[in-house]
Amino acid sequence: MIKNLDEIIDQCRQEGLRRTKALEELLITLLEFNRPMTLAELSDSPRLANQCDKATVFRLLQRLADKGIVRRLGLHERAAYFALLIPGQHRDYLICTACGNIDPVKAPCPVHDLEKEIQFTTGYKNLYHELEFFGTCPDCV
């Protein structure tokens, strides 16, 4: 985990973000849980609960999302979930339109080959995609 944390901290610095204790604890929490988390889950987590308030966590998440370090997921009318974007790792998600549950897709990404073709034919660099499927989960059917 430390190697990933150091790489993510370096990425934050390259994007102009200061290394603070709150930023570090937020990144460690996202790495440890390794799943999308809500603002409430993050701010109430043991690492952050006594470190900073909910507003600070929200501002950090917004900055990280703006810099492409964190991905915001979810339905617009429900609480947002935040997931760490780790270089070299790609995740697509299933989002339940009834309860808002978010699960990773446990299948190879169907868009990778298309992404490579688009990058080759257009000349775009640093191309990436985010794929979310929406439907009703088995618990809500």
Distances (CA, A) of 113 to 92, 116, 118: 15, 5, 9
Section 55-72 average pLDDT = 94
Distance of CA 4 to the CA centre of its chain: 14
Does the domain spanning 1-86 belong to CATH 3.40.50.300?
Answer: no
**Per-residue pLDDT tens digits for 6-61:** 889 999 999 999 999 999 999 999 999 988 999 999 999 999 998 899 999 999 99
Least confident of 10-24, 56-70, 106-120: 106-120
Residue 73 pairs with which residues in a beta bridge?
A: 81
Q: Domain locations in the chain?
A: 1-86, 90-141
Q: Which DSSP category does 1 fall into?
A: -
Check: CB of residue 7 under 8 Å from CB of residue 87: yes
CATH number of 90-141: 3.30.1490.190
